[in-house]
Amino acid sequence: LQVASFLVRNLEDFSPAVLGALGQAALGLSVSSIQNSIPEEYLEAALPALGSVRGWKAEQSRAIVNKLLGSGYQILDGQSLAQLGSLVGGLNSSTLWSLPPKVVLEALQLPGFTQ
């Protein structure tokens, strides 16, 4: 984690390509960088890569998910829930409870979501 933090500390370019290329080093993103330096559309474009990163701190995943939801990302079906991948832990309980059961059941049937 220290190496990852060092790698991303001085980044100024948080384009979707850069976010995707970080891989597991994305764990070094600070909450303040997520909230203040990464545009919402970049987070959404990089969601497949960010959702595959394992080991997010709760604060990080919450910051990413809240920023996505605040910018209009909608969980309308199992695919949009599953797309969050490892970031699903950043969903607050009220958002989870508001999801129709059908959405959760669809996501559970998608390969890799339950991991």
State whether the Cα torsion 86-32-19-21 is positive or negative: negative
Tens of pLDDT along 22-31? 999 899 999 9
10 Å CB burial of residue 111 (0-12, 13-18, 19+) is exposed
Q: Are residues 63 and 89 in contact, defined by beta-carbon separation less than 8 angstroms?
A: no
pLDDT > 70? residue 3: no
Q: Could you tell me the pTM of the whole model? A: 0.89
Q: What is the Cα–Cα distance from 68 to 64, expressed in whole angstroms?
A: 6
Please give the pLDDT value at position 9: 76
Domain ranges of the chain: 1-109
Candidates 17, 26, 83; CA nearest to 54 is 26
For 64-82, the pLDDT digits (tens) are 999 999 999 999 999 999 9
pLDDT for residue 8 is more than 70: yes
Q: What is the predicted pLDDT for the residue at 10?
A: 73
Name the band, by pLDDT with cuts 50, 70 and 90, for residue 12.
confident
C-beta neighbour count of 10 within 10 angstroms: 6
Residue 16: Cβ within 10 Å count: 19
What number is the average pLDDT over the span 53-65?
Answer: 96
